[in-house]
Amino acid sequence: MKNNRFDNKLSQTGVVFQPLYTQVENHVKQLIVEQRWKPGEMLPNEFQLAEELGVSQGTVRKALNGLTSAKILSRRQGVGTFVSEHTNQDSLYRYYPIICDGKAPELPKAELLSLELIKVPKNVLAAFGTEGNMKVFEVFRRRILNNEFCIFEKIYLPHTYFKALEGTQELPHTLYHFYQTQFNLTVQTTTDRIKADIATAEDARLLGVKKGDALLEVQRIVHSLDGKAIEFRISRCRSDNYHYLVEST
């Protein structure tokens, strides 16, 4: 951040009944959304933040600890506190739970099949909670693990947040880092709904399975740091040599 001075917003109407450390958390998140600190940049130290915000150093420390637990910030011992980045390593353990049986987790590669701007489909509308005249980018991709196609994805991205995608011919394998660096949209939460299903003719053609074979369908809604729904994704996943891994600590 070029200038350590910033407006104290902690006393705004509507937040005064929140605990002070929560107000600090929200304030820091808002500054990140406003790009006062970009992904990978270091925040001022606790003493500086406390002085600027007019709160105790202990309040700042509690707020930063909460943001670190939420993976919005990261701490480097003896160095400082940084805005988290969606690096490949981070994405591997947070966002790609489909694992090849008997293999270590790895990031799947992607083949872009199509990308076009369409009117939001009815089955996608509820994910964004908006009007039916909304425009979205519809992205079809196949994911590759163990040298075979294992996932077919349909991804929907609101045009209002991703206008620069118009005319795009390719996308990176890992999208969340792309959202963060190119569109200032940091993923904060993902909600997955998983159910068993059987392969359709489309699944069979794209994934090299037989129609009627068992699949997993994962529907994911992604929200950004400021609470916006920025992605709805339907993943059709082979289940013959793959599994969905969830680890809790």
Within a domain: residue 4? Answer: no
Assess whether 106 and 78 both reside in one domain.
Answer: no
Can you give the residue range of the structural domain that contains 156? 99-244
Domain tally for the chain? 2
Within a domain: residue 13? Answer: no
Assess whether 138 and 188 both reside in one domain.
Answer: yes
Pairing of strands 187-198, 148-158: unpaired
Cα separation, 128 vs 167, in Å, equals: 23
Neighbours of 47 (CB within 10 A): 10
pLDDT at 248: 62
Cα separation, 139 vs 218, in Å, equals: 16
Assess whether 198 and 231 both reside in one domain.
Answer: yes
pLDDT at 39: 84
Assess whether 113 and 159 both reside in one domain.
Answer: yes
Within a domain: residue 3? Answer: no
pLDDT at 16: 53
**Could you give the C-alpha distances from 136 to 57, 113, 140, 160, in angstroms and in order?**
44, 16, 13, 8
Assess whether 162 and 65 both reside in one domain.
Answer: no
Tell me the CATH number at 74: 1.10.10.10
What global pTM score does this model have? 0.81
Q: At 105, list the tokens.
A: 């987790």
Q: At 77, list the tokens.
A: 């011992």
Assess whether 31 and 103 both reside in one domain.
Answer: no
Tell me the CATH number at 103: 3.40.1410.10
Assess whether 126 and 37 both reside in one domain.
Answer: no
Q: List, run by run, the mean pLDDT of 10-residue segments along the chain (249 residues).
A: 47 63 89 84 91 91 91 87 76 73 88 96 88 89 93 96 93 91 90 95 96 96 93 96 79
Within a domain: residue 137? Answer: yes
Q: At 75, list the tokens.
A: 């701490």
Within a domain: residue 15? Answer: no
Q: Which of 56, 83, 110 is the last residue of a domain?
A: 83
Within a domain: residue 140? Answer: yes
